């Protein structure tokens, strides 16, 4: 008999609403609670908040104690962490201390924090999970599946590896998250203004975990991790879902986080982000409408493009769904896993069991 896991969903934002849909889609998961930060959402049904067009019989609450008292097997934590890092860590630790497993989309450095952040950022969540006998798994699509499981599987058919490059090549025009687009990534801002994401060490904190985890999975000792970026301005004023991009302001970003060994980059995380398809034509171009790409250079050379497209025709919707479902589909493995902070290196392969219609 298949075990059923009782789940609390934590947020109904860009990722959270897809997580609710995913929980509802799996026959081995039961949604028993929903936390929201917006008072206007309190008392509303989870199905309506997730855009499912029907009730799921679970109403949203901002009462954390009431949700913890439900004693669920796991919380799917998808609340924004980029602009509230310490608060997100405190929320996760509180859930863990209550003896509840957590799968979370952030803080992203926790997907593989070792060698990326100071131990003081890691130890509290490790201790909370271990002492309560539960597990924490932080993942998504990027950082996450597209550059951990997918990349490591491809290296399994290599004879020699010179470089592993994992890339996101996407147009963010339909990504409706103004805080990320304008404040974090600096799009729509003066091209000579250095945004949050490009401040020293921020790229490494966000994506250094990808490089460090691939190095660990491939048994590579890195000498250092370096950052590099370039940007391009808008050639004309245009609109995106998050707002207006004025001519001359930042509209395209290309960055790399490079793992260096013996004086050369052997593991590279690359992002090519445009707000208009015509910008920076000399930069890497996507497969299809947008893609996550794994390139293994060596003997032989491999290139694997993961193309994304939601049923609404938008690749950004697919990316959000992929993040949500990486967490939701990992629930059985995480709940049954060893207590503590788990990474992709610790989990067995995760499949879409029960999802075939």
Q: Quick one: 232 and 190 in the same domain?
A: yes
Highest mean pLDDT: which of 81-90, 115-124, 160-169?
160-169
Q: Quick one: 271 and 305 in the same domain?
A: yes
Which residues form the domain of 180? 145-312
- Tokens at residue 21, please? 């849909």
- Tokens at residue 293, please? 């790409």
Q: Give me the pLDDT at residue 1, please.
A: 64
For the segment 219-236, the average pLDDT, to the nearest whole number, is 98
| 321 located within any domain | no
Look at residue 80 and tell me whether its pLDDT is greater than 90. no
Look at residue 83 and tell me whether its pLDDT is greater than 90. no
**Residue-averaged pLDDT of the chain:** 96
For the segment 87-113, the average pLDDT, to the nearest whole number, is 96
Q: Please report which helix (H) or strand (E) contains residue 228, including its range.
A: strand 224-233
Q: Quick one: 158 and 174 in the same domain?
A: yes
Q: Quick one: 101 and 220 in the same domain?
A: no
Q: Quick one: 162 and 284 in the same domain?
A: yes
Place of tokens 């950052």: 227
Q: Quick one: 93 and 163 in the same domain?
A: no
Q: Quick one: 118 and 30 in the same domain?
A: yes
Q: Quick one: 109 and 160 in the same domain?
A: no
Nearest to 140 by CA among 200, 206, 85: 206
- What sign does the CA torsion over 149, 150, 152, 153 have? positive
CA distances from 45 to 51, 253, 269, 329 (A): 10, 39, 40, 23
- pTM flag (> 0.85): yes
Percent of the chain topping pLDDT 90: 96
Q: Quick one: 59 and 198 in the same domain?
A: no
For the segment 335-357, the average pLDDT, to the nearest whole number, is 95
Q: Could you please report the per-residue DSSP string of 57-117?
A: S-BEE--HHHHHHT--SEEEE----TT-HHHHHHHHHHHHHTT-EEEES-SGGGGS-TTTS
Q: Quick one: 291 and 182 in the same domain?
A: yes
Look at residue 201 and tell me whether its pLDDT is greater than 70. yes
Q: What is the DSSP letter of 141?
A: B
Nearest to 296 by CA among 103, 95, 193, 153: 153
Q: Quick one: 132 and 155 in the same domain?
A: no
Q: Give me the pLDDT at residue 233, please.
A: 98
Q: Give me the pLDDT at residue 34, please.
A: 98
Place of tokens 């130890």: 123
For the segment 330-355, the average pLDDT, to the nearest whole number, is 96
Q: Quick one: 264 and 225 in the same domain?
A: yes
For the segment 117-130, the average pLDDT, to the nearest whole number, is 95
Q: What is the number of domains present in the chain? A: 2
For the segment 278-282, the average pLDDT, to the nearest whole number, is 98
Q: What is the C-alpha to C-alpha distance for residues 264 and 258, in angstroms, rounded to an integer? A: 9
End-to-end CA distance of the chain: 20
For the segment 163-175, the average pLDDT, to the nearest whole number, is 97
- Tokens at residue 35, please? 């936390």
Q: Give me the pLDDT at residue 86, please.
A: 87
Provide the Cα torsion 91, 97, 102, 105; round to 10°: 30
């Amino acid at each position: 008999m298949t075990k059923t896991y009782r789940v609390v969903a934590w947020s109904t934002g860009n990722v959270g609403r897809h997580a609710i849909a995913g929980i509802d889609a799996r026959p081995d998961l039961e949604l028993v609670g929903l936390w929201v930060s917006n008072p206007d959402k309190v008392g509303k049904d989870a199905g309506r908040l997730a855009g499912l067009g029907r009730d799921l019989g679970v109403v949203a609450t901002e009462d954390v104690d009431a949700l913890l008292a439900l004693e669920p097997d796991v919380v799917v934590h998808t609340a924004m962490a980029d602009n509230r890092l310490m608060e997100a860590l405190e929320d996760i630790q509180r859930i863990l201390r209550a003896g509840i497993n957590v799968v979370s989309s952030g803080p992203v450095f926790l997907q593989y924090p070792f060698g990326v952040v100071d131990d003081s950022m890691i130890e509290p969540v490790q201790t909370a999970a271990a002492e309560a006998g539960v597990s924490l798994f932080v993942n998504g699509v990027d950082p996450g599946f597209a550059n951990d499981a997918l990349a490591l599987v491809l290296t399994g058919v290599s004879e020699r590896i010179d470089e592993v490059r994992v890339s996101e090549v996407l147009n963010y025009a339909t990504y409706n998250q103004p805080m990320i687009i304008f404040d974090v990534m600096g799009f729509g801002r003066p091209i000579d203004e250095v945004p949050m994401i490009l401040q020293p060490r921020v790229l490494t904190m966000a994506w250094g975990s990808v490089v460090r985890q691939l190095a660990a999975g491939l048994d590579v000792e890195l000498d250092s991790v370096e950052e590099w970026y370039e940007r391009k301005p808008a050639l004309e004023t245009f609109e995106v879902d998050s707002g207006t991009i004025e001519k001359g302001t930042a509209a395209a970003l290309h960055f790399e986080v490079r793992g260096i060994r013996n004086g050369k980059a052997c593991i590279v995380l690359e992002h090519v982000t445009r707000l208009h398809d015509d910008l920076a034509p000399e930069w890497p171009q996507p497969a299809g409408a947008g893609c996550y790409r794994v390139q293994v250079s060596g003997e032989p050379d491999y290139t694997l493009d993961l193309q994304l497209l939601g049923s609404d025709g938008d690749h950004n919707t697919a990316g959000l769904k992929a993040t949500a479902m990486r967490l939701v589909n990992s629930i059985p493995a995480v709940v049954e896993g060893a207590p503590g902070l788990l990474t992709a290196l610790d989990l067995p392969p995760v499949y879409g069991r029960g999802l075939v219609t």
